[in-house]
């Protein structure tokens, strides 16, 4: 029991200050306390190694960029939604659709495993129409969609995993394909790749990646294979004549349309070539 004229005594012999590590980034001092000297020495070794390897340091935290990334890491799914939210309000409807399409294409490849992965059509609807459609984020999703959304939340890889260039390369392969597995049009591939690139730039800004891995990958979009013409889909001369007769009878413009479609069929001309066709361009027989 202490009386008014007594002072509490500090047991200095039983108190030991925790190990403290101090360092500077530029002119800014940083320090951190540890439970054991071993932990402090381990952190010191990490800082020295990063400095020797020329790694950039974050001035605010005092840590190498790689350690900052680990501390701030979130799933790819969460990052992709953050990216959509960032772009959405200032984008026209057509751009919003393109953003959602690109994110819906790459996200299924950035998962830990495919166990329990829903049907491809359900995945497409879930990601394109719900996960990456900000207009629906406040709506209650149907049971199958809600289940698929939960699956991607649980299975999505951390964004830091995209520092693996082989993983990113496999993602590029995925965005070059259509739902049926065939190669997409070159224009579609370029558009999706540009959005994917931009989303990775946003990850760098958010300290989720130290660099954009796409800048280190030499990748060429696959060429779209032209499908062979199926003769069964092309009308024979008798069928073509009947089709042209039907066009002639449709409206007062029928005669002009017959000439238009007739040139396409009999001369194998493209629409733009027929539109630009003039009489002086033609070598017409007197009969037939």
**pLDDT tens-place values along the chain, 288 residues long:** 334 443 434 444 555 677 888 878 878 887 777 777 777 787 788 788 878 877 777 777 777 766 766 667 899 999 999 999 999 999 999 999 999 999 999 999 999 999 999 999 999 999 999 999 999 999 999 999 999 999 999 999 999 999 999 999 999 999 999 888 888 988 999 999 999 999 999 999 998 988 999 999 988 877 765 555 566 677 888 888 888 888 888 777 888 888 888 888 888 888 888 888 887 777 777 775
Question: Is residue 227, in this structure, part of any structural domain at all?
Answer: no
Q: Are residues 62 and 153 in the same domain?
A: no
Question: What's the confidence (pLDDT) of residue 1?
Answer: 35
Q: Are residues 136 and 251 in the same domain?
A: no
Q: Are residues 64 and 83 in the same domain?
A: no
d(C-alpha 18, C-alpha 37), whole Å? 8
Question: What's the confidence (pLDDT) of residue 3?
Answer: 40
d(C-alpha 126, C-alpha 103), whole Å? 12
Q: Are residues 80 and 212 in the same domain?
A: yes
d(C-alpha 51, C-alpha 67), whole Å? 13
Range of the domain at 245: 235-281
Question: Is residue 44, in this structure, part of any structural domain at all?
Answer: yes
Question: What's the confidence (pLDDT) of residue 231?
Answer: 67
Question: Is residue 170, in this structure, part of any structural domain at all?
Answer: yes
Q: Are residues 94 and 211 in the same domain?
A: yes
Q: Are residues 164 and 195 in the same domain?
A: yes
Question: Is residue 117, in this structure, part of any structural domain at all?
Answer: yes
Which of these three, 71, 88, 111, is where a domain ends? 71
Question: Is residue 32, in this structure, part of any structural domain at all?
Answer: yes
Q: Are residues 61 and 96 in the same domain?
A: no
Which of these three, 159, 183, 216, is where a domain ends? 216
Show contacts of 178-181: CB within 8 Å, 24+ apart: 179/120, 179/124
User: How big is the CA angle at 106 (ends 136 and 199), to the nearest 5 degrees?
Assistant: 75
Which of these three, 216, 247, 271, is where a domain ends? 216
Domain count, the chain: 3
Question: What's the confidence (pLDDT) of residue 226?
Answer: 56
**148-157 exposure pattern, b = at least 16 Cβ within 10 A, e = fewer:** bbebbeebbb
Partnered with residue 22 across adjacent β-strands are 31
d(C-alpha 161, C-alpha 109), whole Å? 12
Q: Are residues 192 and 247 in the same domain?
A: no
Q: Are residues 36 and 132 in the same domain?
A: no
Question: Is residue 222, in this structure, part of any structural domain at all?
Answer: no
Q: Are residues 247 and 128 in the same domain?
A: no
Question: What's the confidence (pLDDT) of residue 32?
Answer: 76
Question: Is residue 287, in this structure, part of any structural domain at all?
Answer: no
Q: Are residues 111 and 205 in the same domain?
A: yes
Q: Are residues 120 and 178 in the same domain?
A: yes
Question: Is residue 225, in this structure, part of any structural domain at all?
Answer: no
Across 5-116, the runs of DSSP E, i.e. the strands, are: 20-25, 28-33
């Amino acid at each position: 029991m202490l009386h008014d004229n007594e002072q509490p005594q500090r047991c200095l012999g039983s108190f030991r200050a925790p190990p403290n590590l101090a360092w500077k980034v530029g002119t800014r001092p940083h320090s951190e306390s540890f439970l054991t000297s071993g932990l402090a020495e381990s952190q010191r070794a990490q800082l020295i190694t990063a400095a020797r390897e020329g790694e950039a340091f974050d001035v605010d935290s005092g840590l190498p960029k790689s350690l900052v990334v680990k501390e701030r890491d979130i799933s790819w799914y969460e990052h992709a939604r953050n990216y959509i939210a960032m772009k959405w309000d200032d984008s026209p409807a057509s751009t919003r659709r393109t953003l959602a399409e690109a994110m819906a294409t790459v996200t299924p490849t950035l998962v830990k495993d495919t166990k329990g992965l829903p049907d491809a059509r359900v995945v497409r609807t879930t990601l394109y129409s719900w996960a990456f459609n900000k207009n629906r984020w406040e709506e209650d999703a149907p049971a199958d969609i809600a289940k698929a959304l939960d699956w991607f939340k649980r299975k999505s890889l951390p964004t830091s995993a995209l520092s693996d260039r082989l993983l990113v390369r496999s993602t590029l392969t995925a965005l070059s394909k259509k739902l049926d597995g065939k190669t997409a049009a070159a224009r579609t591939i370029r558009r999706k790749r540009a959005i994917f690139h931009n989303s990775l730039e946003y990850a760098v800004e958010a300290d989720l990646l130290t660099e954009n891995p796409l800048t280190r990958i030499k990748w060429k979009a696959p060429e779209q294979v032209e499908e062979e013409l199926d003769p069964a889909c092309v009308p024979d001369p008798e069928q073509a004549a009947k089709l042209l007769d039907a066009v002639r009878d449709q409206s007062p413009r029928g005669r002009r349309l017959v000439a238009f479609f007739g040139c396409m069929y009999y001369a194998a001309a493209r629409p733009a070539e027929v539109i630009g066709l003039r009489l002086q361009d033609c070598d017409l027989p007197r009969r037939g």
